[in-house]
Amino acid sequence: MSLSSIPPELLVAVCVAALLLALVQTARLAFTRWLPRHRIAVARAAGADGELRAEPLLRAQGYAVVARQAPVSYDVAVDGEPFEIALRADFLLERDGRRYVAEVKTGRLAPRLETSATRRQLLEYRVAFDVDGVLLVDVDAGRVHSLEFPSHAPGGVDEPRVGWLLWLALGAGLGLGASAVEGRLHPPHAGDIRGGSDVDGGATTIVPGTTARPSAGISPVRP
């Protein structure tokens, strides 16, 4: 079949369909690329709005703003080589001579510590910033949460083990003290002293007021 035998109307329909398919595919690719950027832009706009609403809330609770979008960097050793990590926090604050780093969250899930991303972000702030505490600002709820993360000293002794060692040392001290007091209150008498000598496996016991009897296998010494 040659093209001349195909009706012109059919050729036009096929060309239009191919053009529409190409346009749809191009639009789909463009939308796929645009959507993440749009979400980031919306998140940034929401974050900026949240920071604007958070600042009066922080000031009302006595926090003074030291820096906004405070930058910091820290090094992580990767196979012995330093790897620098840079990040920014929403606020660096001060109150009563103490310094805090604050993260502002909006929405339903982000301000909750059950959200692992929020929890890990705040923990990283505690490691990266030289501050006295970390604040989580829930703008929608109008609350400022102060967080304290546990610190573990490398190579430290577990607290339960230290407790047992202290109790053991205290018991030993009390025992030695009781023995010393008992020795002072009841000193040993001369009549309570028993002497013994080993000769060829035998032993002689001397009791005051009695005659010493040799043990088996030992001949008495005659004057």
pLDDT digits (tens, 9 = 90+) for 74-88: 999 999 999 999 999
Do 84 and 75 form a contact (C-beta atoms < 8 A)?
yes
Query: Nearest Cα to 91, choosing from 134, 31, 138?
Result: 134
Give burial (CB, 10 Å; 0-12/13-18/19+) of 173: exposed
Residue 207 has pLDDT above 80, yes or no: no
List the structure tokens of 20. Answer: 């529409």
Q: Average pLDDT in the 124-138 region?
A: 93
Mean of pLDDT over the chain: 76
pTM beyond 0.95, yes or no: no
Q: What is the pLDDT of residue 202?
A: 47
Q: What is the pLDDT of residue 136?
A: 94
DSSP 208: T
The 10s digit of each residue's pLDDT in 113-127 is 888 999 999 999 999
The 10s digit of each residue's pLDDT in 143-156 is 999 998 887 645 54
Residue 14 has pLDDT above 50, yes or no: yes
Distance CA 190, CA 179 (A): 20
Cα angle, residue 172 at apex, residues 168 and 175 outer, rounded to 5°: 140
CA 189 to chain centre: 63
Q: What is the amino acid identity at position 68?
A: R
| Residue showing tokens 């030993």 | 172
In angstroms, what is the C-alpha Rg of the chain? 43
Q: Which residues contact 146 (CB under 8 A, 6 or more apart)?
A: 100, 133, 134, 135
Q: Which residues contact 65 (CB under 8 A, 6 or more apart)?
A: 55, 58, 59, 91, 92, 93
The 10s digit of each residue's pLDDT in 20-69 is 888 888 888 887 887 777 666 666 665 677 888 899 999 999 999 999 99
- According to CATH, what is the number of the domain 42-147? 3.90.320.10
* Phi/psi of residue 99, nearest 5 degrees: -110, 140
Cα distances from 194 to residues 83, 126, 191, 216, in angstroms, run 77, 71, 8, 19
Report the SS3 class of residue 101.
strand
